[in-house]
Amino acid sequence: MENESIQSSGLKTMRVPCGLSLAHVSKAETLFAYKEIFDDRIYFRHGIELRDGDCVFDVGANIGLFSVFVQEHYRNVKTVAFEPAPEVFPLLQFNLAKYGHAAAAYPIGLADAERYATFTFYPGFSIMSGFHALDTFDRDAARAVILNQWQEKYPGLEVPEERFIEELVDGIFAGKKEYSCRLRRLSDVIREQRIEEIALLKIDAEGSELEVLAGIAAEDWPRIRQMVLEVHDANGSRGPALRQLLEMKKFECIFREENQFRATGISNCYARRTD
C-alpha cells in the first residue's frame, strides 16, 4: 500500500490505500492529505456536492490529490489546478497526466492582480508552504497538529515530551526555501479556459484565501456555485471578513474546525450560493 519507487521521470512515487500510484514529496504528508480528501471527504460536507460534467478549480493543489479524487469519482469533470511551488508542480503534472482525464494545471498563485511575490517552501511539509509564511503561527499550528494526531491515534496515552515535539517541528521547517512566483487573477484564467460555471472552487492557499477571492471580477462571482476554503486566521479577523464578503456575494457560509486542526487558528469554510 505504501511502497515507494522512483519512476523513469526521476520522481518519487508511492501507492496510496485506494491503489493509485502517485508522485509525492513525502509519505507522511501524502497519507495525511489522503485521509482528509479520500477517507474523511472534508470537501464534501455541509451540502457541498458535485455532478458529472461539472468544473472544479483546485487552488493550492499541491500534488493534486483533490483533483485526482474528483476525476476518479465523477465523469467528464474538468479540473483546473494551481500550484506555484516549483518543486511540487512537476508532481502535480505527473499525477494529472496519469489520472486527470480532463485537467489543466498552472504553475502560479492567484491574487488580485498579475505580479510576482515571494513564496516560502517547506521541504519537510510542503502542504504548509505559501505566500504568507508566519514562523510563529506556522510552528504553533504544526505543533498543535502533531499533538492532535497523537491524541487521536493514542487516546489516553501521555503526550510525548516537549523536546521530542520540538524536534519534529524543527524537522518540518528545516531548510525552507524562498522563490519568486507568478500571481494571476482567477478571472483571467476563467476567460482563458472559457469557463461558464465553476461548480466548486476549492482554496487551500495557506493564508492567501482573501487575495484569491480579490481576483474574481464582479461579473464572474455568479459563475461560482460552491466554495470550500481553508481559512488561516492568526488574529481572528480573517474569518469575519471572509464571511462578510461571501454573504455579500450571496453565499451561505458554515465554518468548521476539524479535529486535527484544534487550537491552530485554521478552519474550513463551506459556502453555497443562495440565489
Query: Per CATH, which fold does 39-132+176-273 belong to?
Result: Rossmann fold (3.40.50)
Contact 227, 213 (CB under 8 A): no
271 Cβ partners below 8 Å, 6+ apart?
226, 227, 228, 229, 246, 251, 252, 253, 254
DSSP codes, the chain? ---EEE-TTS-EEEE-TTS-EEE-S-HHHHHHHHIIIIIS-TTS-TT----TT-EEEEES-TTTHHHHHHHHHSSS-EEEEE---TTTHHHHHHHHHHH-TTEEEES-EE-SSSEEEEEEE-TT-GGG-BSS--HHHHHHHHHHHHHHHHHHHSTTSPPPPHHHHHHHHHHHHTT-EEEEEEEE-HHHHHHHHT-S-BSEEEE--TT-HHHHHHTS-GGGGGGB-EEEEEEE-SSS-HHHHHHHHHHHTTEEEEEE--GGGTTTTEEEEEEEE--
Per-residue pLDDT 10s for the chain (275 aa) are 456 666 656 789 999 999 999 999 989 889 989 999 999 999 999 999 999 999 999 999 999 999 999 999 999 999 999 999 999 999 999 999 999 888 999 999 999 999 999 999 988 888 888 898 766 777 777 777 777 777 777 777 777 777 887 888 787 778 889 999 999 999 999 999 999 999 999 999 988 999 999 999 999 999 999 999 999 877 777 889 999 999 999 999 999 887 666 667 788 999 999 87
Q: What is the pTM of this model?
A: 0.89
Give the CA distances from residue 142 to residues 51, 104, 208, in Å, rounded to whole numbers and listed in that order: 35, 31, 18
- Tell me the domain boundaries of the chain: 39-132+176-273
